[in-house]
Structure 1
Amino acid sequence: MDLTAPQPPAELFSLKGRTALVTGASSGLGARFALLLAEAGADVVATARRADRLAELGRLHPAITPLPGDIDSPDDRRRIVTEATGEATGWDRVDIVVNNAGMSGPLRAEEEEPDDVLRLLSVNLVAAYALTRDLVMAADSPSGMSVVNVASILGLVSGAPVGGAGYASSKAGLIGLTRELAGQWGRRGVRVNALAPGWFPSEMTAGLFADERSAGWVDRNTMVGRPGADHELDTALLFLVSPASSYCTGQVLAVDGGWTAR
């Protein structure tokens, strides 16, 4: 597809003929993202540590290939890259990378040890960088690849009293990584953008929304007066990974109900 020429609207968001890899795909937003990309026409490699959850996801759509692994493990990362781009799959490269895997930590800095922060940075930032770098290097020609790093509004603004120093640092680092890789790889035809969700119900935020006070805090401080619904990230992700955003790279798209515009 010639991305410098106008395209029919129906084709701008189509992912037919493209291969996507989604990390952290065993539940929550990651599982939804994998299904979304499959429905848009992509062949999807879904990876996460929980093999049973991935198997369930694979049964929901024939275009989803479960590939269990821990992206924080160098050996597992190498295996994921090899299997996602090898003869077994029939694909010679991954066209779309969605770095969704992540973890949270203690909310109070006084309770968060330096080792806790190192673990968060390793999983949320370093592993995403290493996997993306390896996938780009594995491609004979990476032109046309699209990378989306799932960051957070906590990489843009303070979330105190709900947030976490290590988590916020990892997401701010992911945003910086997004801009730098976009700059380094733009002339090679690789686009790198970040999606920064606001407050959405998930496994990671279950405790926050189960507490009446913290749930009310989200409602009061979000311009639209409520948390996001899962489907409200769908079109943002599809825009960033598809030809619809062909002239968009190095950007951070906040989908947050107006939180960061306060």
Structure 2
Amino acid sequence: MKNYFDLTGRVAVITGASSGLGVQMAKALANQGADIAILARRKEKLEQAAKEIAALGVKCIPVKCDITDTAQIEEAKKEILAKLGRIDILVNSAGTGGVAPTVDVSDEMLMNEINIDLVGTFKMARAVAPEMIKQGFGRIINIASMYGLVGNMIAPSAAYHAAKGGVVNLTRALAAEWGKDGITVNSICPGYFVTELTESTLKTEQFAAYAKGAIPVGRYGDEGELDSTVIYLASPASNFVTGMNIAVDGGYTCI
């Protein structure tokens, strides 16, 4: 019997993994046998998440890192290579999501969205690619958003849309550049999932009513419903899939 999704012997790096979707995806990859490095800015939360992941029977190291800071990324990479020996999979999950009418968006808010969601994703991919090129294998999975594919009429967030739209096309560009090196680059475009970051918006009466009509399946995403997509894109089963942006959104972008 063949396990199409076995990741034993692989090392996965997940950013934004002190809470929410990042932790969920780290656990999903650990459950397939990958050793894990989780990166975020909040050391205490990272350490707690690392304990939970290590309990699944794999190595897991917490690495404090601000993905907008090139020097910190280089230090994090050195630590991961020293402790885990290689980097096979990168999941760029760190992100933010400011909501405000465009006319009220300050320069600071605009640049914060772009620096975390787009520039940080670029810098992490740039940092790990040399290791992947050396070994002739790599999987880069960018967590974009369905808002990188479409606009919306309920929660004005043009800066976020712009940054995530950049991630969508960055994914295509890196896939085209690194395909010859054995690296696949794909993105997942999640729909509405309740996390620490989104809870205050999604749990309002107005938004819940809107979502019921806007999402064909009639609900928000549940915990764990991104797991199978990240496992597939990290695994040998997706060897011939690259440059794709896969919406996991309950059908939001199909209408």
TM-score by length of 2: 0.95
| 1:25-77: CA deviation from partner (whole Å, max 9, x where unpaired) | 00000011111111110000001001111111111132221111111112211
Which structure 2 segments of 5+ residues have no match? none
Does the CA contact (< 8 Å) of 2:7 and 2:34 recur in 1? Answer: yes
**Counterpart Cα distance in 1 of 2:84 and 2:146:** 37
225-234 or 112-121: bigger deviation: 112-121
1:259, distance to aligned residue in structure 2 (A): 0.5
Do the aligned partners of 2:99 and 2:155 also contact (CA within 8 Å) in 1? no
SS at match of 1:61: helix
Identity over aligned pairs, percent: 34
Gaps of 5+ in 1: 1-7
CA offsets per residue over residues 197-234 of structure 1, 9 Å max, x none? Answer: 01111112111222111111111110011111021111
Shift of 1:138: 3.7
Q: How many Å apart are 1:82 and its aligned residue?
A: 1.0
Q: Determine if contact 1:208/1:215 at 8 Å carries over to the other structure.
A: no
1:229 and 1:249 mapped to 2: Cα distance?
A: 26
Q: Is the 8 A contact 2:212 2:218 kept in 1?
A: yes
Name the residue aligned to 2:197.
Answer: 204
Q: Counterparts of 1:174 and 1:9 in 2: how far apart (Å)?
A: 34
Q: SS of the residue aligned with 1:230?
A: coil
Which of 77, 81, 102 is equivalent to 1:85? Answer: 81
Q: Any residues of structure 2 matched to 1:148-163 within 5 Å, and which?
A: 148-163=141-156
1:134-213, aligned counterparts within 5 Å?
A: 134-139=127-132, 141-213=134-206
In structure 1, the residue matched to 2:98 is: 105
CA apart distance, 1:163? 4.3
Q: Does 1:16 align with 2:8?
A: yes
CA distance in 1, matches of 2:251, 2:133: 41
- Residue of structure 2 aligned with 1:27, choices 19, 22, 28: 19
2:52 to 37, 57, 60: 60
Query: CA distance change for structure 1 residues 98 and 75 in 2, over 3 Å: closer, same or farther?
Result: same
Q: How large is the Cα RMSD of the aligned pairs? A: 1.3
- Paired residues, number: 251
SS in 2 for 1:110: helix
Verify the 8 A CA contact 2:142 2:187 in the aligned structure 1. yes
Summarize the Cα distance change of 1:140–1:191 in structure 2 as closer, same or farther, 3 Å threshold: closer
Aligned residue for 1:54, secondary structure, equals: helix
The letter for the 2-side match of 1:247 is: F
- Structure 1 runs (4+) deviating above 6 angstroms are none
Change (3 A) 1:139 1:85: farther
Question: Closer, same or farther in 2 for the Cα pair 1:163/1:249, shift >3 Å?
Answer: farther
State the 1:142 CA deviation. 4.2
